[in-house]
Amino acid sequence: MASLLKLSSALRRQTIVAGARAGSSYAAAFRSALSNEPATEVTTLDSGLRVASETLPTNVATVGLFLDAGARYEDKENNGTANFFEHVAFKGTTKRSQAALEQEVENLGAQLDAKTGRERTVFTARCLSKDVPKLVEILSDVVQNPKLDDADVKRAREVILGEIEQVDASNLRKVVFDHLHSTAFQGTSLGNSVYGPSSNIRSIKGDDLRGYVNSHFKAPRMVLAVAGDVRQSELEKLADKHLGKVESTFDGKPPQLTAVRFTGSEVRVRDDSIPLAHVAVAVEGCGVNDSDALALSVASTLIGTWDRTFGGGVNNASKLAVASAHDKLCHNFQSFNKMYRDTGLWGIYFECDPLLCEDMLFNVQNEWMRLCTMVTDGEVERAKRQLKTRLLAKLEGPQAICKDIGRQVLESGRREPLHEVERRLENVTAQNVREVGMKYIFDRCPAVAAVGPVENLPDYMRIRSSMSWVRL
């Protein structure tokens, strides 16, 4: 990635030559730089565990264990278990006390982290490249031999309940997206909250967590990914040594992703004590490996992201940003394209003054309909450049690269090279964007989630009727 940034800086310093020849030269140099990026090596061990790495010229590395485990694999009775385990994972193992584990990591100058999502759980460690073998052993110990003392479970329970209260009080964006998933995918496991209901948190015990680990932490559901100054052959030996005893068979039926069903619907939580209305509107998108995924990402980039603290709002490329800045429609908005294995949510989240909900939503849906019917080649080319910048910026450093490797290998068994992504992105045209707009957005039933003083938000049937234009 460093080579890409150097190339970009060098090209910016050159005199810009007018005409197609200069643009063609830049594009060729850019593609050449992408092609020369280090390849991601992936190996599947006999147990089914996948080992992936990317060699980077850096003294810092990131080690990650990625697991097919998360809220989507849970049901009403055990929802919240995956997130609960995250909170006790680093409280010690059968080989190390919590104090010994923390002291060992501290002496290495490393940092441990864990994150639970709807479809995966991730344990990562940032360290010096020379300490990768030690961190692989530590993470392997954490996921295979968790101590799960009753006292640790009790303390974690109080922490999680406190986090739920804190999120409900201060992170309304997260609350809105939880509501959005619960209404859009109601009756399916993708509607589960990562935290789980408080009633479940109060009843989860150590035996429940052990059962969860035994059911989900199997070799075929794991990816060991490393980005840094490492060698794939050495990493394979480390994986075989420290994770070779992870079982590859299941007692009974392996955990499976259940089918999802999108429901056009809404949930509103009116609270006039909150100063701003927090609103999310989305249609059903596509899965992460779907052929329409990139075109939908371009469409989302066209709508854009804006905050009133940004400079140059009225000169923004996004027409919705220009309207928001000129007419003070909202405090901020963010277009999103959330993709899961087999479905997704494409939409927008915004925060606005209570009396401007209707005006803001009118402009949002008007821009959506324009995207489906009238978007131009120039707009799409600009959005593609913005998306390239965003994708490359997200891959800056070993930590971001490691997470990208683990996510892609877990989802599709390989990591798509950057030059392939760039080639596919270049092939997206305005016609493609209009086609996916008509397929996923135009005349589709949306899901709506709103929290705060939302009395002025139009009722659902008005929102639904504005999802199409009558054109002669």
Nearest-CA neighbor of 409 among 43, 132, 61? 43
Mapping DSSP to helix (H, G, I), strand (E, B) and coil, where does residue 254 land?
coil
**DSSP per-residue letters across 118-183:** SS-EEEEEEEEGGGHHHHHHHHHHHHHSB---HHHHHHHHHHHHHHHHHHHHH-HHHHHHHHHHHH
How far the first Cα of the chain sits from its last, in Å, is 50
Q: Which residue has the tokens 């705060």?
A: 452
CA pair distance 287, 298, nearest whole angstrom? 15
The tokens of 426 are what?
């270049």
Q: Where in the sequence numbering do the catalytic residues fall?
A: 86
CA pair distance 275, 281, nearest whole angstrom? 20
Mapping DSSP to helix (H, G, I), strand (E, B) and coil, where does residue 447 land?
strand
Instruction: For 200-331, list the strands marked E by DSSP.
Output: 222-228, 266-270, 277-285, 305-307
CA pair distance 402, 277, nearest whole angstrom? 37
The tokens of 350 are what?
């915004």
CA pair distance 68, 121, nearest whole angstrom? 7
The tokens of 395 are what?
């891959």
Q: Burial, 107: exposed, middle or buried (Cβ in 10 Å; 0-12, 13-18, 19+)?
A: exposed
- Which strand (E) or helix (H) includes residue 387? helix 377-393
| Residues constituting the chain | 472
> Facing residues of 224 across strands?
51, 65
The answer to whether 83 and 195 have CB atoms below 8 angstroms apart is: yes
CA pair distance 6, 22, nearest whole angstrom? 19
The answer to whether 215 and 42 have CB atoms below 8 angstroms apart is: no
The tokens of 202 are what?
């109060």
Task: Supply the Cα-derived Rg of the chain in whole angstroms.
Answer: 24
DSSP code of 313?
G
How many other C-beta atoms are found inside a 10 Å radius of the C-beta of residue 409? Answer: 21
The answer to whether 292 and 424 have CB atoms below 8 angstroms apart is: no
